[in-house]
Copies of this chain bind each other. A is one copy, B any other.
Amino acid sequence: MSARETFGYFGPEGTFTQAALGQWHHQHNDAEAAEALLAESVPYATVPAALDAVREGEVDAVMVPIENSVEGGVSSTLDALNSEHSEGTLRLVGEVLVPITFVLAVRPGTREDAITGVGSHSHAWPQVRGWMAKNLPGATYVPTLSTAAAAQGLARGEVGQYQAAVCAPMAAQVFGLETLATDIGDNVGAVTRFVLVKRARGRDGGSSTPEPTGHDKTTLVLYQHDDRPGGLLELLEQLATRGISMTRLESRPTGAAMGSYCFSIDVDGHVADERVGEALMGLQRVAAQVRFLGSYARADRRPVDVRPDASDEAYVAAQEWLDSLR
């Protein structure tokens, strides 16, 4: 990845998303270059704003959260990626997994018994409910735009509603807060998955889809035909008959009507793989719509387990056999 590329992220500074982008830079650059890149990276106030910045060429790539091991899919990201003007415009080109640990941060000097309100993002709050019930049972929850925004608000002294923030360790540090408690998440081992998003075609017009690595995943959004019973079963069979495993399925309402859903899914493999290509074509035929969001290397680098009869070799042999018949 060239050092000339510019990056953005769902901010403000101090969010887990910034940490994810830092992790990405360090994986793809030496330490010095990574720090320089991170310093230049631009925070955006919302996920849609970050995606718009890529779409309009303000930056080359943005990091956004997509899935949390405790709270599930990040709706605003899923919906922004599914939106009609993302089709053919944006591509997921990589992913990063970041362990999520929360701290209880206060303005220096604040004592625990002075805390009557706690600010945090609505995604984070349910992840610390157990700790709160035990340690601050009387405190009221005050929703904020992000966990970092809770810390930032506290630092600025803007609000009188809360005296403590539940946020990332990094946010407490960035905003000069004091940490009263660490690792207060109920789910030790909570992880959030972030994706790096680029325009589908780079400035040179070339595809931004990374080359296959042998440990890739592909992200799709599937829309069913409303009038087709057993629609989801039919879509899953298009994958099963090609020997493809689905590793994530998120349902999202289409907004068209109550009970009308689309499915955001991840499957093992790369669009360049024969079996994935054939499955995509199968889905495209039987689904009302298929949106291809990208093929990229798995963060955990776990190799995809391909049955011999679903390998590229098997597909090529089958094509040659068919050609010989025709």
Which residues of A in the span 134-173 have a Cβ within 8 Å of any Cβ on B? 141, 143-145, 158-159, 161
Contacts known (A161-B159, A281-B322, A318-B281); A286 close to B259, Cβ less than 8 A = no
CB distance from A26 to the nearest CB of B (A): 20
Q: Which of A56-73 contact B (CB under 8 A)?
A: 67-73
A249 lies within 8 A of chain B by Cβ: yes
CB contacts under 8 Å to B, within A289-306, are: 292
User: Is A85 positioned at the interface, with any CB of B under 8 Å from its CB?
Assistant: no
Interface residues of A, CB < 8 Å — how many? Answer: 74
Separation of A252 and B309 alpha carbons in the complex (Å): 24
The answer, yes or no, to whether A179 is at the interface (CB within 8 Å) is no
Q: Which residues of B contact A317 (CB under 8 A)?
A: 284-285
Cβ-defined contact, A318 with B189, below 8 A: no
Task: Tell me, yes or no, whether A126 is within 8 Å of chain B by CB.
Answer: yes
- Return the CB mask of A242-282 against B: 1 if under 8 Å, else 0: 10011111111101011111000000000110000110111
Q: Is A97 an interface residue (CB 8 A)?
A: yes
Q: Does A229 contact B (CB under 8 A)?
A: yes
Given contacts A229-B245, A237-B237, contact A255 B69 (CB under 8 A): yes
- Beyond A143-B143, A246-B232, A248-B259, is A284–B238 a contact (Cβ under 8 Å)? no
A309 pairs with B321, CB closer than 8 A = no
Specify which chain B residues have a CB less than 8 angstroms from the CB of A191 in the assembled complex: 257-258
Interface string of A162-197 (1 = CB under 8 A from B): 000000000000000000000000010111010000
| Cβ-defined contact, A261 with B249, below 8 A | yes
Q: How far is the CA of A277 from the CA of B319 in the complex (A)?
A: 9
Q: Which 5 A-B pairs have the closest CB atoms?
A: A281-B318, A143-B143, A69-B258, A285-B309, A284-B318
- Sampled A-B contacts (14; CB under 8 Å): A67-B253, A67-B258, A68-B253, A69-B253, A191-B257, A230-B236, A230-B240, A237-B240, A277-B326, A280-B321, A281-B319, A281-B322, A284-B318, A285-B317
